Structure 1
Amino acid sequence: MIKDDSDIRRAGEPAPDRRSPRPADGHAPYGWKPLAVLAAAGFIDRFEHQLLPGVLPFIQDEWDVGDTTAGLLPLGGALAAVTLTPLAGYLADRYRRVRILAVIVLCWAVATLASSLATGFAMFFVIRLLLASSEGFYGPLSGSLLADFYPPQSRAKAYGWRGLTPYLASIGVIAGGVLGQHFGWRAAFVIAAIPGLIVAALCMRLQEPPRGLLDRPAGAAPGSPGAPADEDGRVPEARTGAARPGRGGHPRFRRQLRQVLGTPTLLLLSIALAALAFGLSGISYWTPTLIHRDHGVAEGLAASVSGAVTVIGVVAGVLAGTRLGRRWRRGGARLLVGGAGIVIGGVFLVAAISMPSLGAFAITLLLAKATMATAIPNLTAAIADVLHATTRGLGFAALHVCGAFGVAFGPLVVGVVSDATGSVVSAMYGLSVPLVLGGLLTIAAHMTFDRDRSRPPAG
């Protein structure tokens, strides 16, 4: 594995043979190509993941799988991802992130193709575990890279589009349902493997950005260990000291871990994300099945309605959240925007499930997802702001671990309750509770944001 250039240049020396960015006070000193490539990688990751809800009815019919057993697929996958996420954070803070990401995307494509070759549910389950274990790398890698490609004033936009593309990948639900109905569910996985190979090649062409360069205030010397600036270009006094390096110029891992775990804003948002992921994953995973069973429509149409609602709702929510985040970015106001959106979205969810007609259900669910999606750009940008450049990989890894647990148990709990009550609708009512809890915790994180943003780096 090729180490990061900081091992070559040591502290303060410019990296050799690297194209310098445009002035650091610009909104996109490296341009928007890095965002497009990283967003494409996230799209490929979630597109393959979203195929599963679309083809789930066909898989359950072929192998006679109940709802509880089907709910184990996301659980096993998320737990597999959790096991490697801390390693991903460690590597993201020390090695060339673009090379690691290219290898991971290539692994996704191979595992996706292998899913189409499964001869039974047990084999399919094992392949999904292997696929999910590699997915644990994307969050830490992309979160760290975006913070070094884009300065604070444009991070909400960058993280918003990065967070948007996985939800745009909900067209995978549509593709899975339509392809499964007309060509069989295996065809969906074969087709999904092709774009993964293309995106892996694009990742290899990205340059590795210097860590923390854009956190420095405008006009600072490129090689000087300047302090991270806030959204207005000011430098918090407490962060002007450079991190004491460990071996190879990197902060010592134990000090990094202590600083990450000792950041209240990150801890509150991690718990909030786990609760949010619990609710959203349960909704997304079982919505096609709910529409098929309770509204009496074919599997392909059910998947199409579910996917369209997610894409339209989340796109609208992220665009609105990005605009609000740019306008209300002082003092952690982004967290108030995101938290309020999550709480309101939880209320809309209850209303959607109660709707008797498919049209009313789809419209209200779209409103629920749109309001909750306003949190996507604002929460991620706030997390990047309270983490130092030398610990962002590990910080986003901790965040991903919490989110993975939510993703793991949401679909399983819905499946267990559905089997027990005989109604997937009854099971989904309970998802409003963790959603409201996540929104309240996000609002609470507003109170610790300014203090955490002013903390010195790990030494």
Structure 2
Amino acid sequence: MTTMPTQAQTRPLPGAWLVVILLWFVAGVNWSARGLIVTMHDSVTAAIPMTNTQFGLLTSCFAWTYGLLSPFAGFLADRFSRSRVIVVSLIAWSVLTWLTAYARNFNELLALRILLGVSECTYLPASLALITDYHRTTTRSIAVGLHMSGVSMGASLAGIGGWLAERHTWNYPFQLVGLIGVSYGLVLIFVLRDAPKVSVSPTPVAVSVPVASFREALASLFGRRAFILLLSYYGLAGFVGWAILGWMPTFIHEHFKLGEGASGFSASGCVNLANLCGVFVGGILADRWSRTHARACILVPAIALCFAGPGIFLTANTDLIYAAMFGLVAFGFAGGFSDANMMPILCVVGDARYRATAYGILNFAGCLCGGLAIYAAGALRDLHLSSAQILNGGAAVMLLCPIFLFLIRPPVPPMANPGR
């Protein structure tokens, strides 16, 4: 029989909500910086001529670099100060975003997108691990969900890129977001701190044990069936999610004949504002259900994701703009449930010493598959395959995602020895 956590074990540490608020703004800058370019397809390609395949490669190379380095970046956040890793990452990617405004040809633009992936890959594993250091079981999902709402808001605001490019130049949005990020990073140097070194789990996990080598971290994580199932889910979800991020604004622009700015807002705005609602609802539901059910943070997103695939299918096969927006809302809302509960799931099924590393490995799988999807979609468009056909393929893949989550079972804690 397992021991129920006491109120002291589940209460957030002092300053826990301040950390979430501070990181909310960092997440917004992060996703704005990476998402700007996909909302400015016509403006960027008019200034720097390139094919659809090359334009897709700009996001794919970012995703592949971001994903490839994420496991190592997560391990850095497990070994060193999470708060310092976050601040350095923020300032670095903001400088690179600003420099993107001055790219003169495709090769320079591609190099800056690769470097952006290097600089951004440390943020999400470090920030989510820092939040779960501060927050215990009863507030963990909603705290992560609140932070991920910053991701949704930033991705939505990236849609402003197309609008600003229409009214100024394609360079202006990159200059603006870069300067905002550098300024905020300088503020965080003085206010963002690591959590006190105390147990962050109500279960008897030896979190005080020093982090071992990267090889031992991999052995610990891949020795768990539940982690492998979660990794499989994240790879499939990344395959679809990155393709939606990379090509949905262009699909809306071409299929519904909207302007570049309106297309960016319609595609990015619908998905990410729905995601914003989903992270709150999914976080609250999981935290409440977790009081009585150990798999709550797993089952809540699994159930919601059953509606994501049909949402994409609706968007791809309707000629009604409002129906298409409804499909994107369904996809984004379900994705919010997943975003709010991914790190809480890792806290249940993973090794507490390697939370940032584990999330980095998930990022690796998601971005590797997502980058492949974006590049493949661009190549298929150059071969004259319709966007609707590509989206239908994504909808079919999305239907497989909840199956992997339903199969996850938390490890059974050891029984107490009745003879002692």
What's the TM-score, normalizing by structure 2? 0.91
Matched, 1:114 2:99: yes
What's the counterpart of residue 142 of structure 1?
A: 127
Structure 1 segment 198-209 matched on structure 2, within 5 A = 198-204=183-189, 205-209=191-195
Do the aligned residues in 2 keep the contact of 1:99 with 1:203 (CA within 8 Å)?
no
What's the counterpart of residue 39 of structure 2?
A: 54
Structure 1 segment 382-401 matched on structure 2, within 5 A = 382-401=345-364
What's the counterpart of residue 8 of structure 1?
A: none
Matched, 1:338 2:301: yes
The C-alpha deviation readout for 1:370-427, integer Å capped at 9, x for no partner, is: 1232222123211123333322222122122112213312211221222223422222
What's the counterpart of residue 174 of structure 1?
A: 159
Which residue of 158, 169, 172 maps to 1:184?
A: 169
What's the counterpart of residue 380 of structure 1?
A: 343
Structure 1 segment 254-333 matched on structure 2, within 5 A = 254-329=215-290, 330-333=293-296
Q: What letter is aligned with 1:200?
A: G
Identity of aligned residues (%): 21
Q: What letter is aligned with 2:125?
A: P
Deviation at 1:23, TM superposition (A): 5.6
What's the counterpart of residue 348 of structure 1?
A: 311
Deviation at 1:38, TM superposition (A): 1.8
What's the counterpart of residue 195 of structure 1?
A: 180
Aligned-partner Cα distance in 2 for 1:214–1:276: 32
The C-alpha deviation readout for 1:177-200, integer Å capped at 9, x for no partner, is: 101111011111011112212331
Do the aligned residues in 2 keep the contact of 1:55 with 1:185 (CA within 8 Å)?
yes
Aligned-partner Cα distance in 2 for 1:302–1:352: 14
What's the counterpart of residue 63 of structure 2?
A: 78
What's the counterpart of residue 43 of structure 1?
A: 28
Do the aligned residues in 2 keep the contact of 1:116 with 1:190 (CA within 8 Å)?
yes
What's the counterpart of residue 138 of structure 2?
A: 153
Deviation at 1:253, TM superposition (A): 4.0
Do the aligned residues in 2 keep the contact of 1:269 with 1:442 (CA within 8 Å)?
yes
Aligned-partner Cα distance in 1 for 2:297–2:109: 41
Do the aligned residues in 2 keep the contact of 1:101 with 1:203 (CA within 8 Å)?
no
Q: Which moved more, 1:278-287 or 1:79-88?
A: 79-88
What's the counterpart of residue 17 of structure 1?
A: none
Aligned-partner Cα distance in 2 for 1:118–1:290: 26
Which residue of 175, 186, 210 maps to 2:196?
A: 210
Computed over aligned residues only, the root mean square deviation of the Cα atoms, in angstroms, reads 2.1
What SS is found at the alignment partner of 2:158?
helix
Deviation at 1:342, TM superposition (A): 1.6
Q: What letter is aligned with 1:333?
A: A
Deviation at 1:433, TM superposition (A): 2.3
The C-alpha deviation readout for 1:305-348, integer Å capped at 9, x for no partner, is: 12321232112211221122122222213212211222211112
What's the TM-score, normalizing by structure 1? 0.83
Aligned-partner Cα distance in 2 for 1:250–1:277: 28
Aligned-partner Cα distance in 2 for 1:83–1:450: 28
Closer/same/farther in 2, CA of residues 242 and 345 from structure 1, 3 Å limit: closer
- Give the paired residue count: 406
Aligned-partner Cα distance in 2 for 1:449–1:87: 25
Which residue of 380, 383, 389 maps to 1:417?
A: 380
Do the aligned residues in 2 keep the contact of 1:44 with 1:169 (CA within 8 Å)?
yes
Closer/same/farther in 2, CA of residues 83 and 371 from structure 1, 3 Å limit: closer
Aligned-partner Cα distance in 1 for 2:168–2:156: 17
Aligned-partner Cα distance in 2 for 1:252–1:429: 43
What SS is found at the alignment partner of 2:80?
coil
Do the aligned residues in 2 keep the contact of 1:331 with 1:450 (CA within 8 Å)?
no
Closer/same/farther in 2, CA of residues 29 and 214 from structure 1, 3 Å limit: farther
Aligned-partner Cα distance in 1 for 2:280–2:129: 22
Structure 1 unaligned regions, length at least 5: 1-21, 216-227, 230-234
Deviation at 1:32, TM superposition (A): 0.9
Q: What letter is aligned with 2:79?
A: R
What SS is found at the alignment partner of 1:431?
helix
Do the aligned residues in 2 keep the contact of 1:40 with 1:165 (CA within 8 Å)?
yes
Aligned-partner Cα distance in 1 for 2:14–2:228: 31
Q: What letter is aligned with 1:351?
A: L
Aligned-partner Cα distance in 2 for 1:25–1:196: 34
Aligned-partner Cα distance in 2 for 1:120–1:172: 26
Deviation at 1:263, TM superposition (A): 1.9
